[in-house]
Structure 1
Amino acid sequence: MAITFSSAAAIAGTNNFDDEEDEPGEEIQSTPNLEVGEEREIFRGTGIRKKLLKKGEGWLFPCAGDEATVHYVGSLPDGTEFESTRSKGGPVVLKLSTPFFYPELDRAILTMNMGECALFTLPLSVKCNDVVESSIPPNSVVMFEVELISWISVKNVTKDGGVVKRILVRGNGLSYLSDLDEVTVKFSTKLPDGTIVVDKSSEAEIKFYLNDVLFSPAILPSIIKTMVEGEKVCVTIQPQYARDVVSDIPPNTTLTIDLELVSLMHVVDVSGDLMVLKKIMKKGEEGSSRPEDGLSVWIKSTGKLEDGTIFDRFGFDVDGGFQFILGEEQVITGLDIAAATMAKGEVSLLTIKPQYGYGENEFRGNLATVPSHSTLIFEIEMIDFIKGKEPWTMNLQERLQAIEALKECGNSLFKTQKYERALKKYTKALYMDEKPIEDAEARKMSTLKVSCLLNSAACNLKLNDFRVAINYCSSVLEIEFHNAKALYRRAQAFIETSDLDLAATDIRRLIETDPQNREAILLQKKLKQLEAEKNKKDSKFCANMFAETKKYTNQEPKKMEDGISNMKITSHNPPQFEEHTAGISNMMTRGDELTWK
């Protein structure tokens, strides 16, 4: 099945974590974990001390807003108890960071994990519940023995309290979702009296893409994006959002949704323009690297059309799978760039638009013909790939040979106008230069580096990435101050970015170094033409601007004079009013003559 989605929603969702606001929390002093029996101050300068009585389990801690189930016993330093849940027969649920009888206590609970028992010594710096405070002597410290039995994580999904999620069962995943991902869920929606109005929990699991604008209820994807695989939650929907979930409910009705994220499949925008999507059906080996450009990979793959017609299968009848070299145009572009993102053992479903497939061409597969402008579906398994040797594992001679080979390969690609592929070769060669080298070979390595930087700049000029080209040339000039090619290519890029003054500086330096440089002289001529055109446009703009200013200024005295002549003397005006306005009129006329004649 092809991966389909709303492009606008997908693009908006690729960075959805940037918009996510963290819940407010307490800044806890970073110190080693306490051992049983050890005591120390836990919030710098507050006087709050913690003594560990029993270690908890796991590495998770509650957050502000969570609902913690605890036992506590409050006592004075002499052992006198003034408050205890144990004597009342059962634990209590406290909403952390919400003021209760002792405001400092919930801050301390944030430092505990599941099952932990600790003794907190707290200064009496904040007013307590009156009943409790009456049993505590003035200016006394208090002590709380607290056992954190469990807690429910609470997340304010909409940030306004309208949709609140409580985690009932924690999931086993670590990564959250984006709009492109496909999820499988179960859920049911209930009224306050427990009546189920929507039940999707007992029937077949529901599978959909998070960016599906037609999915109902529309609030569900935003909740799911805060979950991990296997997580079960109870979501409280306040009335302002409830009608969007179930339309035919009474006004001011609160709903609850029991929701389980059964499974998920991450979808990756491989090409960066939504033209090649990779849905990960089976994850690859943990910690596996990714194949490198120019090295061999072995895959098994089945190619289909959108209607399900299989047009090709390869790698199944060969031991080890079908072999090809990444970045050498031995397969279609979409398959090539997707394979470069896969781990060993990974199985993925690719959806490849025509621009990255066979485009306008008809293709005769082994099993069927692919019409022009076809979207392709590939199920691909990464069997194995050759792992490239990392630069830091190479000796100096190996690195020099590798850089030279990459540079020559890039040059060949550049000559055939395959600029993007050439740029990859040069970039990889520059990456090889990161390890320090001895002085004896520094000159040769520097020469190779300058060559790759210059060629990278040339590629970016061809690809219209002028700012990047400028950066590459500047890197060369840091090594060789008067490098002619760097000055020339940077001047070209400056002209394209309309930085004519900077281009003029580079051309002047170039001609000072080599007065007979024909390319520099031609570029200088082009620059002078552009400067003349720019000056002409600037002059015309200034002339128009001053003409408008003159026209406006000429009109103002006339308007003021007309306004004064139209003034009417009423019985409320003093006798000298007429003489005064006439004087102003004469003055404005004289001013007009002085200004413009």
Structure 2
Amino acid sequence: MADEFENSRKYNDKKSDEEGDMDVPKDVEEEEIGEHGLKKKIIKEGDGWETPLNGDEVEVHYVGSLLDGTRFDSSFDCEMPFKFKLGLGHVIQGWDDGIKTMKKGEKALLTIPPALAYGESGSPPTIPPNSTLQFEIELLSWTKVKDICKDGGILKTILTEGEGWQTPKDPDEVLVKYEAQLEDGSLVTKSEEVEFIVKDGCFCPALARAVKTMKKGEKSLLTVKPQYAFGENGWEPASGNDGVVPPNTTLQITLELVSWKIVSEVTTDNKVSKKILKEGEGYDRPNDGAIVQVKLIGKLQDGTVFVNKGDNEAPFEFKIDEEQVIDGLDRGVKTMKKGEVAILTIHPEYAFGSNESHQESATVPANSTVNYDVELVSFEKEKDSWELTTPEKIETCGRKKEEGNTIFKKQKYERASKRYEKALSFIEYDSAFSEEEKQQAKVLKISCNLNNAACKLKLRDYKQVVKLCTKVLDADSKNVKALYRRAQAYIQLVDLDLAEMDIKKALEIDPDNRDVKFECKLLKEKVKEYNKKDAQFYGNIFAKMNKLERLSSANGARKQEAGPMTIDSKA
């Protein structure tokens, strides 16, 4: 900072009328900032509540004086404000610490001790050693500078604010313009519009990191240190139109985020992804059971079109979660908003699987990943429970249960389980039901829970089987199916005593039930098997103990026999 003062100082013999005198209101309290003796007295309050942060470029007017009133520098002498980046050591520490507490438009007097100014050496000839300094500073404005990596490696100054609040993520595809220069202003390269996937990056590592902090339409200046540019190796351009980046060079990059396409994962295993080409309307999306109208084009990875629906005719209509289309398309459309246009990339597991499939225009080979260009024209959501009358809730529950039964017969147990759970959600709260409706709901609840328990048995989720059957038995203590299925789960959980109790009770209720008799036989075999294992286990332990006892006795006898011989030999 001494150099800045040296370049601009004009001492006391030239005083600008614009400066005025450093008259500080005496009734204003002085506050201490930090623990090193820096003091601040506000002369004029600023606006708002924000204060600048480290890295921000601030613009100030100032007058600097010694404690005896001798002026040594003023920005008014240069007839222009002084600019610098805060917190980066470009000025004395007292300035960095003090200006961080100021609001826009604020004027304050900073009294800065030697340790936070020029210390023991001073700044000859104007500032003696160990001088306490006073600066009257007015914070005119500041430009926000973001330290993207928190290490000073990429500093971003926003030149043009962007729109909205969203910023790109790693999977997104962005469209940018950029221009890179050396610190002396020499042009390195200038791009037209360039598209790239954020996680894959472009030009140098700084672009991928910076673009994730930007909004659509934002234009920013990046100061990029070598570790986020081209490091020790520098950069040799492939084209003669671009300039060389020497090793260990800091770059100035102007970056504009023109637009981007949001890419999201539809499934947790990353086997169905969606790239949005055009945003939809509002926030609403289809739910399970919604009737949707779409335009879609299905393509193989080489671009071969195998299906085209609704493009030159009425939109293609299907019902969500009814297996009317491939699973990946079902799931993908469910995430879309009305009017949204997107590309769905669907792996074989959610497409046509390991079988060859003959479609409208082409055959889809086995194990093919496919793409669908989809536009969601409109949709009609299935009504939620709260939108239905009580008779409608009971009717819907019964219909969903029957759908679950159909799915169960197709051996799609996980989907069937979800359908039974959905069915129950319509009659879960029956406080407004009449007595007759409560009886109907009770029968449906028992049926759905029993069927769901059958699904969970197939899925080997035995703890859930126990919970579901217990719910049924709470409502109907003599339900043989619930006792039977819970006994099956207990056997698998090796809780044989509880299994025996359920089987005995089931046989008391229905002595001729073949399924329960079979489970009883299975239980006896399990008990015999575990008794045999226990006998073998404990038998092995006893055998080991007996062996140890015999060894111990034998060792004692040997010691008694060997004792005198040993003594005799030593003698």
The answer to whether structure 1 residue 175 and structure 2 residue 166 are counterparts is yes
The answer to whether structure 1 residue 429 and structure 2 residue 423 are counterparts is yes
Matches within 5 A, 1:23-38: none
- Corresponding position of 1:389: 383
Distance in 1 of aligned mates of 2:531 and 2:211: 60
The answer to whether structure 1 residue 256 and structure 2 residue 252 are counterparts is yes
Offset at residue 207 of structure 1 (A):
1.6
SS at match of 1:297: strand
Offset at residue 259 of structure 1 (A):
2.4
1:199-255, CA deviations, whole angstroms, 9 ceiling, x for partnerless residues?
2x443x222223448x65355434333333333333333334443584455443333
> Could you tell which deviates more after superposition, 434-443 or 477-486?
477-486
Distance in 2 of aligned mates of 1:434 and 1:536: 49
Which protein is bigger by CA-based radius of gyration?
2
Q: 1:210 aligns with which of 195, 198, 207?
A: 198
CA RMSD of superposed structures (Å): 5.1
- Corresponding position of 1:303: 298
Distance in 1 of aligned mates of 2:466 and 2:42: 58
Q: Which runs of 5+ in 1 are unaligned?
A: 1-47, 137-141, 558-584, 591-597
SS at match of 2:94: coil
Distance in 2 of aligned mates of 1:237 and 1:540: 74
> Are the structure 2 counterparts of residues 241 and 402 from structure 1 closer, same or farther at C-alpha, using a change threshold of 3 Å?
same
Q: 2:496 aligns with which of 480, 489, 504?
A: 504
- Corresponding position of 2:313: 318
Contact 1:290 1:340 in 2 (8 A): yes
Distance in 2 of aligned mates of 1:449 and 1:62: 61
Offset at residue 418 of structure 1 (A):
2.4
Contact 1:510 1:520 in 2 (8 A): no
Distance in 2 of aligned mates of 1:353 and 1:291: 22
Matches within 5 A, 1:84-99: 89-90=80-81, 92-93=83-84, 95=86
- Corresponding position of 1:101: 94
Distance in 1 of aligned mates of 2:421 and 2:73: 67
> Are the structure 2 counterparts of residues 352 and 478 from structure 1 closer, same or farther at C-alpha, using a change threshold of 3 Å?
same
Identity across matched positions, percent = 34
The answer to whether structure 1 residue 194 and structure 2 residue 185 are counterparts is yes
SS at match of 1:514: helix
Matches within 5 A, 1:188-587: 188-197=179-188, 199=189, 201-203=190-192, 205-212=193-200, 217-218=204-205, 220-243=207-230, 246-247=234-235, 249-287=245-283, 289-319=284-314, 321-433=315-427, 437-438=431-432, 440=434, 444-445=440-441, 447-465=443-461, 489=485, 492=488, 499-500=493-494, 503-504=495-496, 506-511=498-503, 513-516=505-508, 517-518=516-517, 521-522=520-521, 524-525=523-524, 527-528=526-527, 531=530, 535=534
Contact 1:482 1:510 in 2 (8 A): no
SS at match of 1:300: strand
1:257-282, CA deviations, whole angstroms, 9 ceiling, x for partnerless residues?
33222221112222333332221111
Distance in 2 of aligned mates of 1:541 and 1:256: 78
Paired residue type of 2:56: E
Distance in 2 of aligned mates of 1:541 and 1:257: 77
The answer to whether structure 1 residue 67 and structure 2 residue 56 are counterparts is yes
* TM-score w.r.t. length of structure 1: 0.64
Distance in 2 of aligned mates of 1:301 and 1:355: 20
> Are the structure 2 counterparts of residues 333 and 269 from structure 1 closer, same or farther at C-alpha, using a change threshold of 3 Å?
same
Offset at residue 345 of structure 1 (A):
0.6
Distance in 1 of aligned mates of 2:86 and 2:254: 21
Offset at residue 344 of structure 1 (A):
0.9
Paired residue type of 1:186: K
Offset at residue 302 of structure 1 (A):
1.6
Distance in 1 of aligned mates of 2:112 and 2:385: 61
Q: Which runs of 5+ in 2 are unaligned?
A: 1-39, 120-126, 237-244, 509-515, 556-561
- Corresponding position of 1:13: none
SS at match of 1:510: helix
SS at match of 2:230: helix
Offset at residue 122 of structure 1 (A):
11
Contact 1:85 1:92 in 2 (8 A): no
